[in-house]
Amino acid sequence: MEKKNKVLILLLVILFLVGAAVYFSDFFKVMLGVTGNAVKVVG
C-alpha cells in the first residue's frame, strides 16, 4: 500500500510538471509575440 501511494504521488508530480511546461511554453510564445510586435512598432 505504501509503495502504491508513492507511485501515485510521482505520477501527480509528473503530470503537474508536464502541465506547467506546456502552460509556460504557451505563455512564453505569447510574450515573444508581444515583444516582437512591440519591437516592430518601435522600429
Place of cell 508536464: 18
pLDDT in tens, the chain (43 residues): 688 999 999 999 999 999 999 999 999 899 999 999 888 888 6
Domain edges within the chain = 1-43
Instruction: Report the pLDDT value the prediction gives residue 39, as an integer from 0 to 100.
Output: 86
Instruction: Report the pLDDT value the prediction gives residue 42, as an integer from 0 to 100.
Output: 80
Instruction: Report the pLDDT value the prediction gives residue 14, as an integer from 0 to 100.
Output: 97
Phi, psi of 28 (to 5 degrees): -65, -35
Place of cell 506546456: 22
For 7-43, give one letter per residue: b (16+ CB within 10 A) or e. eeeeeeeeeeeeeeeeeeeeeeeeeeeeeeeeeeeee
